[in-house]
Structure formats: C-alpha cells, structure tokens
Amino acid sequence: MIILQKKLPRRTFLRGMGAAISLPMLTAMVPALARSTQGKMPLRVGYIYSPNGIIRERWRPESAGQNFEMTDILKQWEPYREQILVLSNMNNGESESVDGHVGGSGMWLTGVEPNKSLSDIRCGTSVDQMIARETGQETPVASLQVCIENAAELAGQSNAGYSSAYTNTISWSSPTTPLPMEHRPREIFERLFGDGGTNPAVRQNRINRKKSILDFVMSDVSRVKKELGATDSRKLSEFTDALRDVELRVQIAEEKSDMELPEMERLIGIPPHEDHIGLMYDLLALAFQTDTTRVFSFMVAREYSELVYTHLGHQDPYHPLTHHRGDPVRKRQAGEIDVYHAQLFARFLDKLSSTEDADGSSVLDNSMIMYGAGMGEGDVHNQYNVPIALLGSGGGRLKGGRHIKYTMGTPLTNLHLAMLDLYGIEMETMGTVLGESTGKLDLTASA
C-alpha cells in the first residue's frame, strides 16, 4: 500500500547546480496523469534506421501469419516475439529516379523524393516530427535525433549530385529543414539532464572535476523520497542508479576519446562502436522513462558508411561489403553487421521491457518502435520490399506476433499514416509522386 501526503505533479524535477532532472514515471503521478490522458500511459515512438539495406534472407521470414519463422535477425528479439510485427512488400519510393542511398534515408520517414542539388535542399516533413509537434508541448524535449557517425566530418561527402544532408539525417522539421543528428553522448546527456542555461565554463569545470550531476541533486532526491511509498521509492533508487551508471560511462568514453591515436587507425566513432551505440540506447531509454521526450530517431550508421567492424573480424568497410555482387564471403560479412545491429537493439528492448511505467506495465508496452532500412537490396540500390518491423505494444494499440505480407508495392507512407492514426493524428495522404500513400496500412491483418 502506498501512502502519500500529497500527489506528485507529473512534471517534477530534481534540481541542483546546473541540473534539472525529470523524475521517472511514478505511481504517485498516475491520478494527475489519468485526468489528462484518460488513464493511459504516454505513448512513445522511436525510429531506428539501418543503412545500406539489410541482407534479405537474414531478415525476411518465408511464412506469413502467426507461425512465421524467426530468421537470423529476428532471433535476436525472440523474447519479444509477441510484440513484433514484421511487415513485408512495402516500397520506399522508386529507386530508378533517385540514388538508392539518398532515397533510402531521405524518403524513409518523409515519402518525398530528395531534390537533386548540392545547394537547393528540399525533401519533406518526416513522420517523427509530425508526432513531435503534437507531443512537444507536453515534454521538455520535443524529439531526439541521434546517430553514431559525426556528420560534421562527413559534411562534404556528397554523392551523385545530391547534398550530404539527405544521408546525414532521417528527420526533417520542414521540407527545407533537415534536423542534425547528435553523435556525442555528452551532448545528449546534458540536454536531458543538465540545465541548458548553465554557463558552459561551469559545466566543463564540473566535468573536469568528475563531479556527477546526481551529486548536485541528491539532497532533492532525499526530499522527494520522503513523499513516496515503498514502490515508488524503489523505482527512484533504480532510476538514479541507472543514471549514474550512464553518466560514468559517458565520462569514461570521453577519457578514451582524448587518447592520441594514429590517424589511419582512428575510427569515425569514438568511443568504441559498441560502447557508443549502447550509451545512445541507454540515454534514449532514460529519456522515455522520464517522459523527457516521447519521440526519437536513431541512425545506427549513415548511408555510404565506411565504418570497419574489426571486432567481427572484418577488414573491409561497411558500405563496400553491401555491394557484394553475390560473393558469398562479402555477403556473409554484410549480414553479420545486420545481425550485430539487431543484437544491440535487443539490449534496448531488454531495457524498455524491464523498466516499469507508473501503472505497472513496461515502457516497451507503451512504445512502438519502427526498425528497418530504406533500401530493400543494398547491392543494387533498390528501394523495393524494404525490411520493416514494429516492436512494442503501443499502449495496447498494437497486436504483435505476426508477419504480414501486403500487396507488392504498398507504399511505406501507408505505415506512417497508420502510426499517426494510432497516435490520434489524422492525415489523409503523405508523400509525393514516388512515395505517395494510398491509404492507411491495416495493422490488424492476419497475414
């Protein structure tokens, strides 16, 4: 039984010098929340983009319906089978008219063909930003856009007459405004938990002294705990432990990134790749847990990525491997990267599934995460039958455990309309010409 002297406001912060940390969802907040959302937990939405296509046989089940087989990639998410919707036969535009890499990332969330120009940058508003417009007023951060590769270092790497803006982001706040993706864990951490008005010199001094943000707010933690019951007190302790762990890992990563490395051996992603992705996923999980944002987009790598996955025994960069031309060794190695990305995503699912919401359900129960790629076959740059899966229960709005094969050529924008509809956002059409929707995707189909 939880005994409280008063109800906690939903937007309660732990405050200290240079920090303003949102509390996680607690039972004490449910009454206030129920009045504004009819008793439902906030619905979180995420978009995770894998570049250069995904090796089809490592992804797509042959059978449809509930008894679909778990392929190499899907096996990584086996514990969440009943929260998986695998969606086949959807097209992300027509690759004959646009470079496959550029169209893959540029059209994935917009359905709009990128304008072929190095200076006149035009695409379309992305679905994540349509949702962020609706939810942004209810959360401290409207949306998060994160990545692994440093776009600043790649800004000049334009291809086939297109600006690199189309391959450095998947999020567009307007047809002419690509949103930058942040690759630095410290910047994400400070945006979520540091006071944005803090003098940069003060923040840097705290970092240099290895003073934790939590150290500044612990007195506030103690104060809030006095108002909580046993269950909420435990949740708050688990949250602060997780937050301190992430902050420590950010600090360790920064120390490693300060090491001098020979230029030829310096990878684009520092800290080491697996640590980097793990940190980003943990930061996104904390952002959902605290309701700091309800929308994110994450590029685990960019189109044309030249990252070398040496820990998998590879010597060739990622992008060239995907142009395997049927070579069994190169195709196998490209598939190993796809499986590896799925393994890292599985840890994120574990985190969301093990994190309780205020009503006793999990954060994963109240999320819908779209995972996939913008190209169906990276070897030949086509955007047909792109790999797409939805994970999570969407607050009871989604019923998983199925592989649905739609009519060949179904526009991916039909899925965006369906997800907008689940969020209560009505739109009749989305995309233009090559990626134009034809109606809301039926997510209740049996096969």
Per-residue pLDDT band at 415 (split at 50, 70, 90):
very high
Residue 224 lies in a domain: yes
Residue 443 lies in a domain: no
Long-range contacts of 203-210 (CB under 8 A, 24+ apart): 203/18, 206/18, 207/251, 207/254, 210/251
Residues 291 and 314 in one domain: yes
Q: What is the pLDDT of residue 177?
A: 94
Q: What is the pLDDT of residue 445?
A: 86
Lowest-pLDDT range of 17-21, 54-58, 118-122, 219-223:
17-21
Q: What is the pLDDT of residue 261?
A: 33
β-bridge mates for residue 425, sequence order: none
Q: Which of 268, 288, 319 is the last residue of a domain?
A: 268
pLDDT, tens digit, for every residue of 372-414? 999 998 888 889 999 999 999 999 999 999 999 999 999 999 9
For residue 213, the enclosing domain spans 1-28+188-268
Residues 240 and 145 in one domain: no
Check residues 150 and 109 and name the one with the higher pLDDT.
109
Name the pTM for this structure. Answer: 0.84
Residues 232 and 313 in one domain: no
Q: Which of 249, 268, 287 is the last residue of a domain?
A: 268
Residue 250 has pLDDT above 50, yes or no: yes
Give the CATH number for residue 70.
Answer: 3.40.720.10
When pLDDT is averaged across residues 189-216 and rounded to a whole number, the result is 60
Three-state secondary structure call for residue 401: coil
Residue 363 has pLDDT above 70, yes or no: yes
Q: What is the pLDDT of residue 196?
A: 45
Q: Which of 233, 268, 303 is the last residue of a domain?
A: 268
Residue with tokens 């009943």: 82
Domain count for the chain, please give it: 2
When pLDDT is averaged across residues 22-37 and rounded to a whole number, the result is 58
Lowest-pLDDT range of 75-79, 242-246, 328-332:
242-246
241 CB-contact burial (10 Å; exposed 0-12 / middle 13-18 / buried 19+): exposed
C-beta separation of 311 from 299 below 8 A: no
Residues 103 and 230 in one domain: no
Residue 34 lies in a domain: no
Residue 441 lies in a domain: no
